[in-house]
Amino acid sequence: MSLQPGQAAPQFTLVSSALQTVSLADFKGRKVVLHFFPLAFTGVCTTQLCTMRDSFGYYDGLNATILGISVDSPFSLAKFKEENNYQFDLLSDFNKEVSTAYEAIYADFVMGLKGVSKRAAFVIDEEQNIIYAEVLEKATDLPNFEAIAAVVK
């Protein structure tokens, strides 16, 4: 059964593109918008994160933090962040533990790749409970940005 609103968000600690450890618990008292994406430097993933980049001020003004998560290495994510001027942290789930915990992982992806994050969005409230969950089966689909913004408000 997939994660649903009302459930406690699975806790995690990952390495960021700045080579710092970042834990979900660090953001208790703030809303957190988690964006899982399959792979850095790909078209739809860039669109997903650029949409959040361009809306960053909106979320920051609502006491919400944006975090991007993929199975890419922190070094790849650092370059991806730099090239696209993302203001939020990108976190490396290289070991696939968080994508698995959030049930947002492809066992088999394109080109024979295995264990790649699905495109997904979660909003976690100030008490670390899920208040929005969307896991997409098709990697070419984008999350519902309007629904995410509405639940953060």
Q: Which residue has the higher pLDDT, 109 or 89?
A: 89
Encode the chain in three state secondary structure: CCCCCCCECCCCEEEECCCCEEEHHHHCCCEEEEEECCCCCCHHHHHHHHHHHHCHHHHHCCCEEEEEEECCCHHHHHHHHHHHCCCCEEEECCCCHHHHHCCCEEEECHHHCEEEECCEEEEECCCCEEEEEEECCCCCCCCCHHHHHHHHC
Q: Is the pLDDT of residue 1 over 80?
A: no
pLDDT, position 110: 79
Its pTM stands at 0.93
Q: Is the pLDDT of residue 98 over 90?
A: yes
pLDDT digits (tens, 9 = 90+) for 32-84: 999 999 999 887 888 888 888 998 888 888 889 999 999 999 999 999 999 99
Residues annotated as part of the active site:
45
